[in-house]
Amino acid sequence: MSVADEIKSKLDIVQYIQRYVPLKKAGRTFKAPCPFHSERTPSFVVNEQNQTWRCFGACAEGGDIFNFAMKYNGWSFTEALEELGKLAGVETKPQTPEQREHSEELDRLRGLLKSAADYFHDLLYDKAGAATLDYARKKRGLSDETLKRFQIGFAPQGWQNSIDALKGLGYSEDDLISTGIVSRNDEGRVYDRFRNRLMIPIRDERGRVVGFGARALAAEDNPKYLNSPQSALFDKSRLLFGLDLAKQSIRDTETAVIVEGYLDAIQAHQAGYSNVVAQMGTALTEPQLKLLVPRLAKKIILSLDSDAAGQSATRRSLEVARETLQADYAGRLSADIRILVVPGAKDPDDLIRESPQMWPQLVADAQPVADYVIEAEKAALPEHASVQEREAVARRLLPILIASESDLYKNDNLQKLALSLRIAERDLLEWAAEQKKIAEARPPRGSQAAVQQQTQMPEPPAYGDEMPDFDSPRVDRRGSAASSNQQEAALEAYCLRVLFLQPKLIYDVNRKFHELADTNSALADGPLSDLSSDDFTRTSYRALMDVFSRAITQDEKDVLDFLHAALTPDLMNELEGLLADEWEDWQLRQRNAFYVDLMIVRKQSERFNGALDMSAEMVEKALRLRRARLERERQELMFLAMDGDTPYQNYVILSMLAKRLIEVELNRRLQLLRQ
């Protein structure tokens, strides 16, 4: 039994979901309004017998307890496995003694940071923090409820306060230095890093304190804002302040508003606008964008400060978004990015405190990127700009304006630019084509050639220690009379095998789904959406597909290099078990020679890519895989009908239409083979 199966055997899906959703018994099932979208008629169904859930409304999604935990909490599969494992009392991460020691050390340092947050917060309400509390309430306009919710605190003046308090709890100076609570100078003296500052705990998306942002209380103290230093727990390029509190609202609205400062985000939450997060640093980073898209948000609104520095940060953020979206050949990261300009050169904190009722309309009226950048560049041009000056502006803007999946948007953006700068549209098209050729000639980010061109590449996220152990038996695909379940497992195994060998085939598969959906957005977002872990039934296959999806949406490393970092040996064995059926000589691989096995995967992948065009066959198998998924959903609907529930007509119609389109396409392909 795999770890995931053991967890599912110990947790009841009805009891778990009832923690978050008020389920009501309906025949042999349980029903409730879907927690993932607004609705009046309940379309969310939990099947206790099968231990599954499904939304037959707008979401058109479903799965097991893992899928629910992932979607509701915004977790990755690894996070869901870890959290549900704790709930079930199941060990999820078999570790070496060194790994266990490292994990325990990180947990201990998180405990230190939590103790520090408690210490600073208590001081805010102590006599020593009276003036700071008055500042927070009156000048910053923060309520006591907000101060407690964000656990805002006070670091007093002095060089030893935090050291003495935390050492008194049993922590060493080395512990305090590791978390950035204290610093050590060149002479070896240890002193408090944060002094006479308003302390704002910074949490990761799971709500764990990983560092602090500290606002100076005295005008002469610089810098105004001081963050924790980079550490094993704190990496500001991979954090969004307030995401732990904003996740649910972002998911509900499918919109994330990104502001520049902590207090901007805090003030927005206090006013009831809880889908607001703050970026860490002077501009949005790629890892920060991927925290939001695609799993939480479809729309990103940048609301950075209106001063020159804020506008510069906005442009850098847009450039990061452009590069990220262009590098996403699978099309999973598509997002509607807009710009919110706060009137009067104010920051969001000031505006929301003065006129909170204005904020929703400003969010609704956020400008498309094209309008914002064209207006900004045009405003900087002299009144009678020369042709050369206007051409220079056009060439600067073209990369941003054509960074869209939709030709309609690209053409509209080019028309706006042509009219604004009085440049012929055909010239813009020629310049855009030139830039595209130059961009295509560059090695992709993360490739070996790109690495050689850079002095240092950022390290990928450390997924290696977090992946679960899987020990479930592999499907025997050599039997002469395989059951339907075995046939379905074999189909799933084939699709995973080919995708791991030729990752870019995922683009061909998703493009075919999009073609079948045509202009029907309900189909494209539902029964004919992109291939995902939802198309697989085995938990281990879902995990592999989840890792694959992460691999193709990052561009810091080659896909196989990413897998080397992301897959534990046990999960790599699961993948090798899939690949071994294709090449029998793999049975001779060395036990535990993980890196050698990866090299074999790479060698076979290169051979596979060079010798075979698997696109047509992969698309056909993926169509069959999706058809099987739709058939499973149809059977669930039949159970509901047997219980006397009202048919979910929209879902049924969409599912039947999708299945019919898939069958027509499969028949067309069969006829071509017979010719």
Rg for the chain, CA atoms, rounded: 27
> Residue 185: what residue type?
N
Q: What whole-number distance in Å separates Cα of residue 361 and Cα of residue 300? A: 16
Q: List the one residue out of 271, 316, 320, 315 whose CA is nearest residue 292.
A: 320
Report how far apart the first and last C-alpha atoms of the chain are (Å, whole number). Answer: 47
Cα-flanking dihedrals φ and ψ of residue 227, to 5°? -95, 165
Query: Number of C-alpha atoms within 13 angstroms, CB side, residue 16?
Result: 28
Per-residue pLDDT tens digits for 110-139: 999 999 999 999 999 999 999 999 999 999
The answer to whether 417 and 397 are in contact (CB under 8 A) is: yes
pLDDT score of 307:
65
Q: What whole-number distance in Å separates Cα of residue 536 and Cα of residue 542? A: 6
Q: What whole-number distance in Å separates Cα of residue 294 and Cα of residue 334? A: 7
Place of tokens 């607001």: 276
Across the beta sheet with 197-203, the strand order is: 153-155, 197-203, 209-216, 225-227
Residues 6+ positions from 110 with CB-CB distance below 8 Å = 208, 209, 210, 233
The answer to whether 582 and 502 are in contact (CB under 8 A) is: no
Q: List the one residue out of 432, 435, 458 whose CA is nearest residue 445.
A: 458
The answer to whether 269 and 276 are in contact (CB under 8 A) is: yes
Q: Which two tokens stand for residue 282?
A: 């002077």
Q: What angle do CA 458, 571, 528 make, to 5 degrees?
A: 85
Residues 6+ positions from 501 with CB-CB distance below 8 Å = 579, 601, 604, 605, 608, 609, 614
Q: Which two tokens stand for residue 556?
A: 């810091």
Q: Domain 3-88, what fold?
A: DNA Primase; Chain A (3.90.580)
> Residue 461: what residue type?
P
Whether domain 236-365 has CATH 3.40.1360.10: yes
Instruction: Report the DSSP beta bridge partners of residue 259.
Output: 278, 303
Residues 6+ positions from 31 with CB-CB distance below 8 Å = 23, 24, 42, 44, 45, 46, 645
Residues of the chain with pLDDT under 50: 328-332, 405, 444-482, 581-612, 643, 646-647
Residues 6+ positions from 516 with CB-CB distance below 8 Å = 523, 528, 658, 661, 662, 665
- What angle separates helix 539-552 from helix 569-580, to the nearest 10 degrees? 100
Q: Any idea of the CA torsion for 140, 143, 148, 153, to the nearest 10 degrees? A: 30
The answer to whether 291 and 76 are in contact (CB under 8 A) is: no
Query: Number of C-alpha atoms within 13 angstroms, CB side, residue 605?
Result: 20
Q: What whole-number distance in Å separates Cα of residue 453 and Cα of residue 71? A: 39
Q: Which CATH number does 107-234 carry?
A: 3.90.980.10
Q: How many residues does the chain have?
A: 675
Place of tokens 């002193």: 191
Instruction: Assign residue 74 a region (left: φ > 0; alpha: ψ between -120 and 50; beta: otherwise).
Output: left
Instruction: Report the DSSP beta bridge partners of residue 32.
Output: 44
Q: Any idea of the CA torsion for 159, 161, 162, 168, to the nearest 10 degrees? A: 130
Helix (H, G, I), strand (E, B) or coil at 317: helix
Q: Which helix (H) or strand (E) holds 362?
A: helix 359-364
Q: What whole-number distance in Å separates Cα of residue 451 and Cα of residue 268? A: 41
Q: What whole-number distance in Å separates Cα of residue 494 and Cα of residue 535? A: 13
pLDDT score of 484:
60
The answer to whether 214 and 225 are in contact (CB under 8 A) is: yes
Give 244: exposed, middle or buried? Use CB within 10 Å, 0-12, 13-18, 19+: middle
Residues 6+ positions from 585 with CB-CB distance below 8 Å = none
Q: Is the peptide bond before 473 cis (omega within 30 degrees of 0)?
A: no
Pairing of strands 299-303, 336-339: parallel
Q: Compute CA distances 207 → 370, 500, 531, whole Å.
A: 36, 34, 31
